[in-house]
């Protein structure tokens, strides 16, 4: 049983293989958190309810009396606004009287095997009943808000998920002002906050800082999860490392504005919140209506950041990514963008396909520029019909010729956008996101389409359906190239404008869901100016995401190391491009860590480069399974080492491994010794490069000697190991 209810102590214990989580129902039905950390057998831990009584004019509940318990310092399971818990609150409801005091108390619970879907939102799923769910029911007696706290325990995966539903059980409409997916009160602040910041072409760089008293955190107000911050944070125990120490990882299954906050109070405790950003959010709930938050994924491990990542990776591969392409072998693609940008026609694309086929590439993706009158980025978004000047006769002749070369065919869309210079905009100027009296901001010559509207979605759906249903299209790249400002919808009444951002994301999910369910054989790849929407929600629709527009392999080391904190290699799109900073081999070595592909003009490759590409493609097939199913070990991080990065991938059966080193600021040094991880110490492994056979114990303790690289920057070396029986 992963979830136990101890009725004597009125406690719940939720266990995964890595963690225990204990909730207590206290006097007056306050819901408290007694523990979250390494597994323990106990269902009750005494004296934790009244942490630090009366610390700073702390206030008491008059029914309980002033004998020690105060909401000010108690480990409140889901902190609410204005009822003597002064820390950042997870829930605030403004009631019909106009105040926003909110105070929820336990009323009951239900425990069951499995996990329900969140209505109209993406979330993780159980496989063959391998999850248990606790629904904790609570009510705010004054507003009549019925709150359900959902906890799903994936015991074998080492993961817990949480989410919240608020129902209006009163007879008056109220406003939800903030509703986080998750709240955790930890008893110390001896952690460092790890987050992933960035910008276009520099996504998900790792930042680590000690917690300080007060509120800190990361967020997005850009309408999407964003390049700037990812909806992921970790609290890493001070002194913990990649391999050792306590780490809590939190990731939000959401593609919109998010907030990940940590408040450290005067007693040195930490409250962690993760959910929809309350800024520019509000939701009116009429009697009988319900609001569901997105899901938060939580991982605790005492195995350091590395183990936290591996737990996320396995979980996302098996319990989040879905559909035909979750496990089916995905086609090796070449994308036209960096090869041609907008300058292509049928003949050029067919020539790409011919040259690509020679090297063993399996799919041609036609990127931006095939529709409307689009020859640059100034127009035509929203006009999803073929540009017959470029593609005479339409898509069919092109696809036939590409298929005749033996390649599959993929296409690019940016469905949530509209160019002012488009037929769609001329017909429906009010369909772009805007607010009354203000000229909307423009980015890359485009506005955002108001996909919170059903009629708008229907139009885009029809246009996409028309193309996708009539042609043999195997892949869709779904792009999104600006942030959302001037956020409002022409059809929402003034008192509901704050619902816009969330409604926009629900609209996106609706459109994506319709497409992936109508076209289950199409492989969808998400993209947002590179990796501006690289989040777990998008993984529910597209098993792979374009990691960054930056294809320079050295820059990519940082981006891929950062991305790998939460996201598996199976979803990290990585292409070899024409970028010249390193040789072809290193570009391949770095891209091999993700969903490998090419993004260059295959006709321009030298004979020597073609030979290397053929070798890379052979290696790609050999390692396909290892990379996608294997466990990642970040042996040397570019964020910590000035000279090199080294990573290792070990098969789940521990019978294969690959170790890659890339040097980027070479120092004169003979050899590098890398202590491998994750092997079976008892087994022997053959180094496929040297033929040397060493025990797993030797490779992990004495280490692997990496040598033979020249003193140039940007060199790479990959060593394969196979277990010998």
Give the helix ranges, DSSP H, for 160-244: none
Cβ–Cβ < 8 Å for 215, 263: yes
SS3 503: helix
Rounded CA separation 427/397 (Å): 30
Name the DSSP class of 67.
Answer: S
Read off the tokens for 111: 């425990």
Q: How many residues bind ligand DGJ (CB under 6 A)?
A: 11
Binding to ligand DGJ (CB under 6 A) within 403-462 occurs at 412
The question of whether 625 is a catalytic residue gets the answer no
Region from 37-45, 525-533, 675-683, 700-708 binding ligand DGJ, contact rule CB under 6 A: 525-533
Rg value, the chain, Cα: 27
Looking at the Cβ atoms of 13 and 482, the one nearer to ligand DGJ is 482
Q: Please, which residue, 106 or 337, has the CB nearer to ligand DGJ?
A: 337
What is the full DSSP assignment across 450-475?
A: -TTSHHHHHHHHHHHHHHHHHS---E
**Residue 526 found at the interface with ligand DGJ (CB under 6 A):** no
Q: Which residue has the tokens 């790249």?
A: 477
Is residue 549 close enough to count as binding ligand DGJ by CB under 6 A? yes
Q: Which is nearer to ligand DGJ, 100 or 481 (CB)?
A: 481
* 324 φ/ψ angles, rounded to the nearest 5 degrees: -50, -40
Residue 655 a catalytic site member: no
CA–CA distance, 255 with 693 (Å, rounded to integer): 47
Q: Which of 79, 256, 323, 529 binds ligand DGJ (CB under 6 A)?
A: 529
Angstrom distances, CA of residue 682 to CA of 350, 412, 655, 694: 52, 49, 12, 10
Site string for ligand DGJ, 304-343 (x = CB under 6 A): ---------------------------------x------
Selected from 524, 546, 684, 721, the binder of ligand DGJ by CB under 6 A is 546
> Does residue 527 interact with ligand DGJ by CB under 6 A?
yes
Nearer to ligand DGJ, 530 or 536 (CB): 530
Nearer to ligand DGJ, 200 or 675 (CB): 200
Is the Cβ of residue 26 or residue 370 nearer to ligand DGJ in the bound state? 370
Q: DSSP secondary-structure letter at 188?
A: -
Residue 300, exposed/middle/buried by CB under 10 A (0-12, 13-18, 19+)? buried
- Structure letter (DSSP) for residue 501: H
Catalytic option among 474, 549, 555, 631: 549
Residues 675-694 that bind ligand DGJ (CB under 6 A): none
DSSP H helices, 271-377, are 304-319, 337-340, 346-359
Q: Rounded to the nearest whole angstrom, what is the least distance from the CB of residue 464 to ligand DGJ in the complex?
A: 16
- Taking the complex as a whole, the smallest distance from the CB of residue 478 to ligand DGJ amounts, in Å, to 10
Smallest separation (angstroms) from ligand DGJ to the CB of 369: 8
Stretch that binds ligand DGJ, among 217-225, 431-439, 524-532, 628-636 (CB under 6 A): 524-532
- Binding segment for ligand DGJ among 245-253, 280-288, 490-498, 523-531 (CB under 6 A)? 523-531
Residue nearest to ligand DGJ (CB): 368
Of 75, 45, 265, 254, nearest in space to 164 by CA: 254
Q: Which stretch binds ligand DGJ (CB under 6 A): 420-428, 522-530, 562-570, 640-648?
A: 522-530
Could you tell me the CA-to-CA distances from 180 to 10, 20, 148, 277, 278 in Å, in that order? 25, 22, 12, 8, 8
Tell which positions 452-491 bind ligand DGJ, by CB under 6 A: 479, 481
Question: Which residues lie below 8 Å from residue 7, measured CB to CB, with a gap of 6+?
Answer: none
Among 367, 416, 474, 555, binds ligand DGJ (CB under 6 A): 367
- Between 136 and 559, CB nearer to ligand DGJ: 559
- Catalytic hit among 185, 421, 474, 479: 479
Other Cβ atoms within 10 Å of 649 Cβ, number? 22
CB of residue 412 to ligand DGJ, shortest distance in Å? 6
- Partner residues linked to 366 by β-bridges: 411
Residue of the chain from 306, 530, 568, 678 that contacts ligand DGJ (CB under 6 A): 530
In three-state secondary structure terms, 505 is helix
Nearer to ligand DGJ, 307 or 383 (CB): 383
Q: Name the maximum alpha-carbon separation found in the chain.
A: 83
Q: Of 201 and 492, which has the nearer Cβ to ligand DGJ? A: 201
Residues catalogued as catalytic: 479, 549
Question: Which residues contribute to the site for ligand DGJ (CB under 6 A)?
Answer: 337, 367-368, 412, 479, 481, 527, 529-530, 546, 549
């Amino acid at each position: 049983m992963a979830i136990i209810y101890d009725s004597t102590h009125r406690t719940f214990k939720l266990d995964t293989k890595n963690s225990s989580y204990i909730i207590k129902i206290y006097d007056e039905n306050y819901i408290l958190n007694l523990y979250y950390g390494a597994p323990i057998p106990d269902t009750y831990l005494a004296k934790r309810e009244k942490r630090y009584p009366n610390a700073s004019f702390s206030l008491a509940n008059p029914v309980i009396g002033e004998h020690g318990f105060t909401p000010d310092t108690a480990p409140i399971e889901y902190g609410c606004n204005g009822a003597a818990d002064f820390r950042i609150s997870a829930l605030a409801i403004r009631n019909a009287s106009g105040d926003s005091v909110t105070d929820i108390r336990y009323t009951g619970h239900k425990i069951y095997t499995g996990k329900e879907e969140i209505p109209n939102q993406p979330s993780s799923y159980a496989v063959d009943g391998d999850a248990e769910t606790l629904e904790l029911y609570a009510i705010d007696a004054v507003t009549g808000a019925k709150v359900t706290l959902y906890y799903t325990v994936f015991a074998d995966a080492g993961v817990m998920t949480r989410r919240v539903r608020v129902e209006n059980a009163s007879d008056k409409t109220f406003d939800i002002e903030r509703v986080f997916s998750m709240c955790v009160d930890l008893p110390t602040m001896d952690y460092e906050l790890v987050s992933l910041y960035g910008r276009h072409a520099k996504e998900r760089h790792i930042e680590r800082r000690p917690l300080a008293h007060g509120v800190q955190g990361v967020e997005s107000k850009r309408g999407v999860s964003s390049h700037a911050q990812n909806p992921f944070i970790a609290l890493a125990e001070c002194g913990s490392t990649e391999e050792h120490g306590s780490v809590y990882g939190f990731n939000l299954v959401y593609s919109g504005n998010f907030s990940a906050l940590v408040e450290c109070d005067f007693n040195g405790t930490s409250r962690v919140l993760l959910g929809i950003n309350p800024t520019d959010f509000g939701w009116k709930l009429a009697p009988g209506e319900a609001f569901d938050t997105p899901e938060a994924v939580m991982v605790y491990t005492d195995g350091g950041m590395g183990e936290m990542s591996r737990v996320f990776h396995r979980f996302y591969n098996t319990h989040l990514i879905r559909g035909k392409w979750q496990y089916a072998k995905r086609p090796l693609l070449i994308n036209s963008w960096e090869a041609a940008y907008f300058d292509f026609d049928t003949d050029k694309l067919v020539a790409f396909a011919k040259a690509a086929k020679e090297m063993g590439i399996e799919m041609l993706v036609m990127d931006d520029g095939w529709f409307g009158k689009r020859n640059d980025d100034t127009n035509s978004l929203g006009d999803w019909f073929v540009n017959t000047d470029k593609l005479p006769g339409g898509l069919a002749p092109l696809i036939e010729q590409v298929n005749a070369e033996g390649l599959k065919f993929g296409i690019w869309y940016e469905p949530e956008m509209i160019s002012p210079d488009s037929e769609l905009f001329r017909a429906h100027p009010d369909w772009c996101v805007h607010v009354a009296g203000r000229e909307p901001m423009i980015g890359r010559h485009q506005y955002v389409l108001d996909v919170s509207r059903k009629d708008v979605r229907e139009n885009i759906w029809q246009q996409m359906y028309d193309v996708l249903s009539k042609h043999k299209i195997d892949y869709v790249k779904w792009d999104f190239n600006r942030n959302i400002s001037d956020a409002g919808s022409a059809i929402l009444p003034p008192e509901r404008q704050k619902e816009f951002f969330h409604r926009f994301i629900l609209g996106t999910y609706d459109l994506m869901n319709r497409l992936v369910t109508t076209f289950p054989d199409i492989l969808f790849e998400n993209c947002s100016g590179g990796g501006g929407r690289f989040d777990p929600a998008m993984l529910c629709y597209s098993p792979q995401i374009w990691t960054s527009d930056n294809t320079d392999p050295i820059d990519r080391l940082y981006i891929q190391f950062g991305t790998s904190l939460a996201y598996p290699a199976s979803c990290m799109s990585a292409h070899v491009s024409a970028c010249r900073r390193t040789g072809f081999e290193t570009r391949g070595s770095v891209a091999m860590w993700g969903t490998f592909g090419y993004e260059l003009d295959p006709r321009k490759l030298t004979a020597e480069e073609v030979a290397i590409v053929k070798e890379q493609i052979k290696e790609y097939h050999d390692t396909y399974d290892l990379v996608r199913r294997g466990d990642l070990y970040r042996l040397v991080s570019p964020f910590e080492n000035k000279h090199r990065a080294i990573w290792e991938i070990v098969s789940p059966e521990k019978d294969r491994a690959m170790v890659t080193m890339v040097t980027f600021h070479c120092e004169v040094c003979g050899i590098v010794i890398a202590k491998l991880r994750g092997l079976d110490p008892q087994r022997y492994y053959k180094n496929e490069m040297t033929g040397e056979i060493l025990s797993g114990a030797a490779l992990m303790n004495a280490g692997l000697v990496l040598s033979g690289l020249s003193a140039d920057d940007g060199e790479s070396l990959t060593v394969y190991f196979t277990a010998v029986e």
